[in-house]
Structure 1
Amino acid sequence: MDALVLLLTLAALLAVGMPVAFAVGLSAVVGALWIGLPLEALMIQITSGVNKFTLLAIPFFILAGAIMAEGGIAQRLVNFAYLFVGFIRGGLSLVNIMASTFFGAISGSSVADTASVGSVMIPEMEKKGYPRAYAAAVTASGSVQAILIPPSHNSVIYSLAAGGTVSVAALFIAGVLPGLLLGGSLMLMCMLFARRRGYPKGEPVTLKAALKISMDALWGLMTVVIILGGILSGIFTATESAAVACLWAFFVTMFIYRDYRWNELPKLMFRTVKTVTIVMILIGFAAGFGAVMTWMQLPTRITEFFTSLSDNKYVILMYINILLLLIGTLMDMAPIILILTPVLLPVTNALGIDPVHFGMIMMVNLGIGLITPPVGSVLFVASAVSKQNIETVVRNMLPFYGVLLVVLALITWIPAISLWLPKLLGMM
Structure 2
Amino acid sequence: MEIGIAYYALILFVSFFTLLALGVPVAFCIIVATAIALAIDMPIQEVFYMGSQTMFEGINSFGLLAVPFFILSGSLMNHGGIAKRLIDLALLIGGRIPGSLLHANVLSNMLFGSVSGSSVAAASAVGGFMGPLQKEKNYDKNICAAVNIASAPTGLLIPPTGMFIIYSLLTGASVGTLFIAAYIPGIMMGLGVMLVAYYFAKKYNYPVEPRKESKEVVNIILSSIPSLAMVVLVIGGIVFGVFTATEGGAIAVAYSAILALIYKEISVKEFPKICLDAAAMSGLILFLIAASSFMAWVMSYLSLPEALSDLLIGISENKLVIFLLMNLALLLVGTFLDVAPALLIFTPIFFPVAHSLGMGDIQFGIMIAFNLCIGNFTPPVGSALFVGCNVAGVPIEKVIKPLIPIFLLEILLLLMVTYIPNISLILPKIFGLI
Q: TM-score range by the shorter chain?
A: over 0.9
Question: Partner residue of 2:4?
Answer: none
CA contact (8 A) 1:28 1:285 kept: no
* Matching of residue 166 in structure 1 with residue 173 in structure 2: yes
* Matching of residue 53 in structure 1 with residue 56 in structure 2: no
- Quote the offset at 1:344 in angstroms: 0.6
- Quote the offset at 1:105 in angstroms: 2.1
Equivalences for 1:130-149 in 2 at 5 Å? 130-149=139-158
Q: Output the CA distance in 1 between the equivalents of 2:240 and 2:300.
A: 38
- Quote the offset at 1:4 in angstroms: 2.2
CA contact (8 A) 1:371 1:379 kept: yes
1:388 counterpart SS class: coil
- Quote the offset at 1:385 in angstroms: 0.6
Provide, for residues 360-407 of structure 1, a one-character-per-residue CA deviation record: whole Å limited to 9, x for no partner.
111111111111111111100001110111111222212211221121
Question: Partner residue of 1:18?
Answer: 24
- Quote the offset at 1:81 in angstroms: 1.5
1:87 counterpart SS class: coil
Equivalences for 1:118-133 in 2 at 5 Å? 118-133=127-142
* Matching of residue 346 in structure 1 with residue 352 in structure 2: yes
Equivalences for 1:32-71 in 2 at 5 Å? 32-36=38-42, 38=46, 39-71=48-80
Count of aligned residue pairs for this structure pair: 425
Q: Output the CA distance in 2 between the equivalents of 1:244 and 1:168.
A: 16
Equivalences for 1:215-254 in 2 at 5 Å? 215-254=222-261
- Identical positions, percent: 37
* Partner AA of 2:362 in structure 1: V
Choose from 200, 205, 211 the match for 2:207. 200
CA contact (8 A) 1:126 1:135 kept: no
Choose from 391, 394, 403 the match for 1:397. 403
Q: Output the CA distance in 2 between the equivalents of 1:406 and 1:170.
A: 24
* Matching of residue 262 in structure 1 with residue 271 in structure 2: no
CA separation of 1:340/1:87 partners in 2, compared to 1, >3 Å: closer, same or farther?
A: same
Q: Output the CA distance in 1 between the equivalents of 2:138 and 2:270.
A: 35
Gaps of 5+ in 1: none
CA contact (8 A) 1:307 1:347 kept: no
Q: Output the CA distance in 2 between the equivalents of 1:224 and 1:43.
A: 37
Choose from 189, 202, 227 the match for 1:182. 189
- Quote the offset at 1:215 in angstroms: 1.2
Q: Output the CA distance in 2 between the equivalents of 1:138 and 1:294.
A: 40
1:44 counterpart SS class: helix
Q: Output the CA distance in 2 between the equivalents of 1:311 and 1:192.
A: 40
Question: Partner residue of 2:11?
Answer: 5
* Partner AA of 1:218 in structure 2: I
Choose from 90, 103, 124 the match for 1:94. 103
1:426 counterpart SS class: coil
Question: Partner residue of 1:419?
Answer: 425
Moved more, 10-19 or 356-365: 10-19
Provide, for residues 17-62 of structure 1, a one-character-per-residue CA deviation record: whole Å limited to 9, x for no partner.
1100011112222223222162323322110100111111111111
Q: Output the CA distance in 1 between the equivalents of 2:144 and 2:78.
A: 20
Question: Partner residue of 1:357?
Answer: 363
- Quote the offset at 1:2 in angstroms: 2.2
Question: Partner residue of 1:317?
Answer: 323
CA contact (8 A) 1:166 1:356 kept: yes
Question: Partner residue of 1:277?
Answer: 283
Choose from 126, 129, 133 the match for 1:117. 126
* Partner AA of 1:301 in structure 2: A
Q: Output the CA distance in 1 between the equivalents of 2:168 and 2:86.
A: 30
- Quote the offset at 1:77 in angstroms: 0.6
* Partner AA of 1:129 in structure 2: N
1:155 counterpart SS class: helix
- Quote the offset at 1:168 in angstroms: 1.4
- Quote the offset at 1:196 in angstroms: 2.0
RMSD: 1.3
* Matching of residue 293 in structure 1 with residue 302 in structure 2: no
- Quote the offset at 1:137 in angstroms: 0.9
- Quote the offset at 1:347 in angstroms: 0.7
Q: Output the CA distance in 2 between the equivalents of 1:134 and 1:46.
A: 43
Question: Partner residue of 1:81?
Answer: 90
CA contact (8 A) 1:2 1:35 kept: no
* Matching of residue 379 in structure 1 with residue 385 in structure 2: yes
- Quote the offset at 1:73 in angstroms: 1.1
CA contact (8 A) 2:114 2:156 kept: no
Provide, for residues 84-138 of structure 1, a one-character-per-residue CA deviation record: whole Å limited to 9, x for no partner.
2212221111111111121122111111111111111122112112111211111
Q: Output the CA distance in 2 between the equivalents of 1:272 and 1:422.
A: 32
Question: Partner residue of 1:29?
Answer: 35
Q: Output the CA distance in 2 between the equivalents of 1:420 and 1:305.
A: 32
Q: Output the CA distance in 1 between the equivalents of 2:203 and 2:399.
A: 20
Q: Output the CA distance in 1 between the equivalents of 2:56 and 2:239.
A: 32
- Quote the offset at 1:147 in angstroms: 1.7
